[in-house]
Amino acid sequence: MKIAMIGTGYVGLVSGVCFSDFGHDVTCVDKDLDKIAMLERGEVPIFEPGLDRLMAKNVDIGHLSFTNDLAQAIDGVDAVFIAVGTPTRRGDGHADLSYVMAAAEEIARAAKDYMVIVTKSTVPVGTNRQVKEVVQNANPDLDFDVASNPEFLREGAAIDDFMKPDRVVVGVETDRAADVMAEIYRPLYLRDFPIISTDLESAEMIKYAANAFLATKITFINEIAALCERTGADVKKVAQGMGLDGRIGNKFLHAGPGYGGSCFPKDTNALARIGQDHSVPMLITETVIEVNDKVKRRMIDKLLDLCDGSFNGKTVAVLGVTFKPNTDDMRDAPSLTIVPALVGGGARVQVADPQGRHEGEKLLPGVTWCDDAYDAAGGADLLVILTEWNEFRALDLGRIAEIMSVPRMADLRNVYTVADAKQAGFAAYESIGRSGYSAKDDL
């Protein structure tokens, strides 16, 4: 099959590379000339484990190419995928569909023969019908179908998610479009991965419902964590006991400083707005959004307590600023709330992150970037673990405590335990949803 992928952001690039690895002929399109030049040099503009090798392999065998010429890219294609951004629109919380509609109109004006126009971007219910109208208005004589094919890729594990998906969701209106999409995903069908065919609206809704539910699980366990801290319960044990119930499952029951990233914040906001527009308020989702914001602010209070009520004049080491490990994505990361509060409170902030510096230098002014955890911890009054990178899971805590000015730790990902901190010589240790420790308690 011949495919064009419009947009070389996270979703578009990963999808395009993986489709090419299926054996399809894929051309990835982007208006950013610098990004296209980078890709043509074999450089990947995002960090995703294994993506650089898979991309190079398929470029070498001729299955994958890059261009800024949309008309050339869509000439003779079976399907063109729209994978552009749908950020939260300023002012009202809706998904901004301007990039999607602009891409649809440009496709329509350049298209000559039948194709399936597939929306892979996360879009509100009804968007694909709007895409259809835009295309028809721009090119009334074009023979085409529209399809909805939402992505379910976890950053840091996206290639595996694409190649071994829990499910593939395809929303179509015609048998012809269904046949094209079936051929595109034939390698997965032959390996018995579930491929769900739905109407357009159901496909669009599945994506939002899934992300809102996962965000709800995260937020629920974070609320339970706050209660555990007041009652003496251990949230890790609570989550384990909950997760062993097959109706609940253990995934996304990890207490932390709140969810972030490219999907959950904007998709929960968009779903809340969709509900309001249709007079069906999404009360649970609206509460999830509110509670998640409060969780991030609660982390600041926790750090203040460890710093004796003031950040002014303190040196704080922050380990990890990306919203999760194995990605360089910082969109809506908890660090974007917590680190500015530290800097604004007068703290000297020393940051280490294996992949976060490129984005972080633009988003977190006023911090000092360090080579590793030990460099960041030197002379610090407080160590904060914000992202659970593997590099931070096996630290020499004794060495860390020795090089700190005051050995105190806020473990906001529950990587370590009170016993670990005491053995290493930390004067204070706090985590999420578990009892903390302070040397003052022993006096």
Is 122 assigned a ligand-binding role in the annotation?
Answer: yes
Is 225 assigned a ligand-binding role in the annotation?
Answer: no
Beta bridge partners of 5: 28, 81
Is 215 assigned a ligand-binding role in the annotation?
Answer: no
Please, are residues 138 and 101 in contact by the beta-carbon 8 Å criterion?
A: no
Beta bridge partners of 317: 350, 383
Is 285 assigned a ligand-binding role in the annotation?
Answer: no
Is 253 assigned a ligand-binding role in the annotation?
Answer: yes
Q: How far apart, in whole angstroms, are the C-alpha atoms of residue 326 and residue 324?
A: 7
Question: Phi and psi (nearest 5°) for 97?
Answer: -100, 10
Distances (CA, A) of 429 to 178, 211, 233, 407, 416: 56, 33, 16, 9, 9
Distances (CA, A) of 235 to 64, 226, 239, 253, 406: 47, 9, 6, 9, 27
Is 252 assigned a ligand-binding role in the annotation?
Answer: yes
Is 86 assigned a ligand-binding role in the annotation?
Answer: yes
Length of the chain: 443
Is 155 assigned a ligand-binding role in the annotation?
Answer: yes
Is 378 assigned a ligand-binding role in the annotation?
Answer: no
Is 213 assigned a ligand-binding role in the annotation?
Answer: no
Place of tokens 């034939």: 186
Is 402 assigned a ligand-binding role in the annotation?
Answer: no
Is 266 assigned a ligand-binding role in the annotation?
Answer: yes
Is 323 assigned a ligand-binding role in the annotation?
Answer: no
Longest Cα separation, the chain: 83
441 burial (CB, 10 Å; 0-12 / 13-18 / 19+) is exposed
Which residues carry out catalysis? Answer: 263
Is 254 assigned a ligand-binding role in the annotation?
Answer: yes
Within 10 Å of residue 12's Cβ, how many Cβ atoms? 23
- Output the known binding site: 30, 35, 86, 122, 152-155, 207, 252-256, 260, 266, 324, 331
- Output the known binding site for NAD(+): 30, 35, 86, 122, 155, 266, 331
- Output the known binding site for substrate: 152-155, 207, 252-256, 260, 324
